[in-house]
Amino acid sequence: MESFFLKLSIMLVPGLMAITCHEVSHGYVADRLGDSTARYLGRLTLNPLKHLDIIGTLMVFVIGIGWAKPVPVNFNNLRNPKRDMIWVAAAGPITNFTLAFLSALGLRGGVALAGAMTAGSPMDTVLYPVLLMLAFSVYINLLLAIFNLIPVPPLDGGRVAVGLLPSGPALTLARFEPYGMILIVVLVFFTNIFSLVLQPALSVGIDLLAGPKTEWVFELLLSKVIGR
């Protein structure tokens, strides 16, 4: 029970922010490019309750990655559907990369502050949980961005690929979308895609953004919070 509340306190806010901002960015870019579906349905809001998917939120605590309810986009309403689809789809990963970058800056600053403090300072009780939250924000945003770049529709990478490919291959890939989630579930739960592909890419991203001085925070995060 103590472990659950530790996970809840560290992972909930950055996890909800990551998946909420990801979805809102899709709707916002679609709205700017001609499709106001998300705005009419009240989904252009950072209120996580408007985007919450119970199973997707629970998965953040179970496997370290989750999802929100997809923001509805009618690609036929876009001014240039094939081209604009690329920007709408790419908005989610770009937003997560941006949040990861900003969180890494905060983490670097927090680690520098922790190093300058006297050991046993009362600030430890406030600073160290904040460092773990920032580290998890880097982790979850990078993971969401990298995972969504897999070129399988309905993931964002698949829709970007549909927009970039010539008409024939794009149509073939788009027809695969109804079965894409089945493949994604198989990849996540029945293959080593995380350890073979996602984890190495995630490690490189963390090293580049956060730097070596924050390694101890991620080691603590993985061992005490995420459980890897």
Number of H helices, E strands in the chain: 11, 0
- Tokens 């993985």 correspond to 222
- From CA 59, how far away is CA 67, in angstroms rounded? 8
For residue 94 the two structure tokens come to 């770009």
- From CA 129, how far away is CA 11, in angstroms rounded? 10
Q: Is 23 a catalytic residue?
A: yes
- Report in angstroms the alpha-carbon separations of 118 from 108, 127, 177, 218: 18, 13, 55, 22
- Tokens 């190495």 correspond to 200
- From CA 5, how far away is CA 166, in angstroms rounded? 50
Catalytic site residue from 23, 177, 215, 219: 23
Which residues are known catalytic residues?
Answer: 23
